[in-house]
Structure 1
């Protein structure tokens, strides 16, 4: 197999920062000790870097799940340089290729099929892309953005100013240059790097697949906690144009909360979400597939498969009917087209359908659970 040239700049960067974080940081902590200000500064700066990647590089620019005010775009563009994640234009080109060719070893830049090491960091240590450093045609829309064009052109300068300048400035302000360089400069960078890399590696290996098994992406609540909501990766890979990754109220997705909050402040708009019926049908389809796989192993498999298909079609029909009525009700309420009598009648029909759907879903859950 052809050996691609080593990118020594990346090898030296990743290895040196990791060694400093693994050796010098603990030594300093034991011999000198980090102050509360240094620890808080490292956490806040790591959060700023992480959110700039998730809300900016990923959901705003790579997938265009919402629109953002120029002020917010500048905040994310500078934060991305601080996170040392390459320019938005390059990052988004790789990520769009990843979604378009997920798990295809020859086209997915960080295919999980090539193993944990490759998808986590190995793909950045050798020149696998060659002359096609990134696909210009893949990011024509982003190249027209003057903020991103500026960041791309001056990325190295922005990266140096943020990664060296911010720790030095903070260290000067509190009188602890070395403490800030180690905590905000190095430890923050290494943790930010590897937490982000986990989405390319662990999020394609460890977790559940409630929405699709057509690719290796998984949902993982622990990874969501470490990556500001990005750990719900199975959902993201089937519904990539949703500004949310964690769609349930209890799922940890601070990136979603930030984007929604900013919409109330007029800093974000046109937040895109996937219709509820499509999500529900995706879940039901996966439940059907798993139940069918188990049913095929049983003696009376043909009858069981037929029963499962019939119940699935009935569930889908009720889902479609319920969500269609819900959509019509909301539209007519919004347009104030219903008088008091019609509104009451419509609402009653909606509640009846909701109850019937719930009964059918409970029945479906019991049926598919029997094959687990």
Structure 2
């Protein structure tokens, strides 16, 4: 297991003032400061209607928007749903004020491709607060580290997502106007300020805390960790080491006692016929990622096929996923097992439809 002390050098990156700020950097800083300032008026504007509006928006934008749509569906293709439902959930993500789907998904796919290396957009190897928040104020850094976004071709081909990208600010203003019309200042303070700031920091803690504190159940060769307390607030996203071990999995709370609200929603959608091709890790894939995995022989003996072709495929998959050439901080390129039977992939979604 990796040592946090050895894996988290302090490079003293001056991410604020030693670089050129672009318009998005300035807007991001101003917006986040404004949302925090709104929270100062929470006690003066409290009423139960405003509280429940904030709570409802937290569920809609956090669970359905960020966790289910942006993360598990759009970023990792963990399941399939009808297009009309996909677009509704994605729009819920827009109202979380964490940028449009194309930007969010591209950044997240780069995070997995270059996890906890110098190219990772938000790794704590650049410092805890860098991974938590300050990376947001340096939009050019992702391009400098990873190049221009070329890993979201599947989304860029769809006019709906291009529309959300080009009109993102309009939707923010629209929600603010609607909240003010319905409930005045209390709805703005609670529905825009309190709800947004809470969801911001809960989401950011997955980037920072879940790569710093907690337990590792799987040999992911990165800093990802499981945090039960964070999972409670993030609808299951706190089981982060599980997620990095099986990135394609629709379920992140892999044990029965690991609460994963997003998974429960996906199971409900599957039960009523709205979600299909729901991906989960197999016993073979779990054994490959286990710390006590001593090689491929035990895995092969446990395969259900028992055929020469089946065994050869498993051995080939093991070699690909565990012995690919290294280009990362930890001595090898991390091949990811797709959930469709074990085909190796490497976060390449650029040409998918």
Fold equivalence (TM over 0.5): yes
Q: Which residue of 2 aligns with 1:291?
A: none
* Cα deviation 1:310-367 (Å, max 9, x = unaligned): xx679x73x65455289xxxxxxxxxxxxxxxxxxxxxxxxxxxxxxxxxxxxxxxxx
Q: 1:131 to 1:196 in 2, by over 3 A?
A: closer
For the pair 1:156 / 2:172, whether they are aligned, the reply is: no
Partner of 2:84: 71
Asked if structure 1 preserves the Cα contact closer than 8 Å seen for 2:42 and 2:194, the reply is: yes
Distance verdict in 2 for CA 1:226–1:134, change over 3 Å:
farther
Where in structure 1 are there 5+ consecutive unaligned residues? Answer: 172-176, 289-311, 327-372
Contact 1:209 1:218 in 2 (8 A): yes
CA contact (8 A) 1:42 1:184 kept: yes
Match of 1:4 in 2: 19
Asked whether the equivalents of residues 39 and 183 of structure 1 are also in contact (C-alpha less than 8 Å), the reply is yes
What is the 5 A alignment of 1:185-196? 185-196=192-203
Alpha carbons of structure 1 residues 249 and 147: separation in structure 2 relative to 1, 3 Å: farther
| 2-structure distance, mates of 1:115, 1:272 | 34
In the alignment, which residue of structure 1 is the partner of 2:116? Answer: 103
**What is the aligned partner in structure 2 of residue 362 from structure 1?**
none
Structure 2: distance between partners of 1:42 and 1:54: 17
| Aligned pair partner of 1:17 in 25, 35, 38 | 35
Would you say 1:201 and 2:208 are equivalent positions?
yes
Question: Which residue of structure 2 lines up, in the alignment, with residue 248 of structure 1?
Answer: 255
Equivalent residue for 2:304, pick from 318, 324, 328: 324
The offset of 1:270, in angstroms, is 1.0
8 Å contact kept, 2:220–2:289: no
Q: Which 5+ residue runs of structure 2 have no aligned equivalent?
A: 1-12, 307-353
Task: Work out the CA distance in 2 between the residues paired with 1:73 and 1:169.
Answer: 28
1:93 aligns with 2:106: yes
Question: Hey, what does 1:81 align to over in structure 2?
Answer: 94
Contact 1:120-1:200 at 8 Å conserved across structures:
yes
**TM-score for the superposition, normalised by structure 1:** 0.71
CA distance in 2, matches of 1:44, 1:130: 33
Greater RCO (Cα-Cα under 8 Å, separation 6 or more): 2
Residue pair 1:73, 1:147 contacting (<8 A) in 2 also: no
RMSD: 2.5
Residue correspondences, number: 287
User: Given the two structures, how large is their TM-score scaled by the length of structure 2?
Assistant: 0.75
Deviation (angstroms), 1:89: 0.6
- Structure 2 contact 143–149 (Cα < 8 Å) conserved: no
Cα separation, partners in 2 of 1:120 and 1:101, compared to 1, 3 Å = same
Larger Rg: 1
SS of the equivalent of 1:259 reads helix
The question of whether the paired residues in 2 share the 8 Å contact of 1:68 and 1:269 is answered with: yes
Deviations 1:141-173 (A, max 9, x none): 1111232222222222122212x03422431xx
Q: Is the 8 A contact 1:94 1:134 kept in 2?
A: no
Which residue does 1:61 correspond to in 2?
74
In the alignment, the residues of structure 2 paired with residue 273 and residue 320 of structure 1 have an alpha-carbon distance, to the nearest angstrom, of: 19
SS state at 2:19 partner: coil
1:141 maps to what in 2?
Answer: 154
Structure 2 residue 144 is matched with structure 1 residue 129: no
Secondary structure at the counterpart of residue 17 of structure 1: helix
Conserved? CA contact 2:35–2:192, under 8 Å: no
Match of 1:48 in 2: 60
CA distance in 2, matches of 1:241, 1:131: 25
Name which of structure 1's ranges 153-162 and 93-102 shifts more when overlaid on structure 2: 153-162
The alpha-carbon distance between structure 1 residues 90 and 148, as it changes in their structure 2 partners (threshold 3 A), is same
